[in-house]
Structure 1
């Protein structure tokens, strides 16, 4: 009694259409995984390299700089602006740029 076992190697391969559908999905999933891993590594590095200043260094902070406004020669004064807004906003709704300028007090 001799039994012969025939092993047929029937390897199933995916058709080209199925491969074409899954390839972009797998690539985007791999890319997303790599980006999240890289983000996690950079956040760990930031927490490790963050240095705190000693209390004496915090007291010697740089002084604030004052910025002065230099009006241009063609700029209107505040009184001129109010007169213009009262003139332009007559009869308009009391909203937007005309808020408070529709009627003289």
Structure 2
């Protein structure tokens, strides 16, 4: 779903920033853990890859605990049940959504 097949044989360090991000996302979804933590997961992704990432999140959201660190709140708003906003290391908003 993340269109990785054309880059499977390339060394990781030679991939573009967006392709590296896709591989790291694929690794995260391939793990069997109960929780997933994402730090700016859509950084370097093009719009279509962001959309595919959102689809994967919706697929896994019910079976895993997801924690996001993101500046793009609109991308995670439909997935989360609690939102904590911080500024300069201080919590400025904490609400159930």
**Per the shorter chain, which TM-score range?**
under 0.3
Higher RCO, 1 or 2 (CA under 8 Å, sep at least 6)?
2
Larger Rg: 1
Q: Which has the higher helix share?
A: 1
TM-score (norm 1): 0.17
TM-score by length of 2: 0.18
Q: Which has the higher strand share?
A: 2
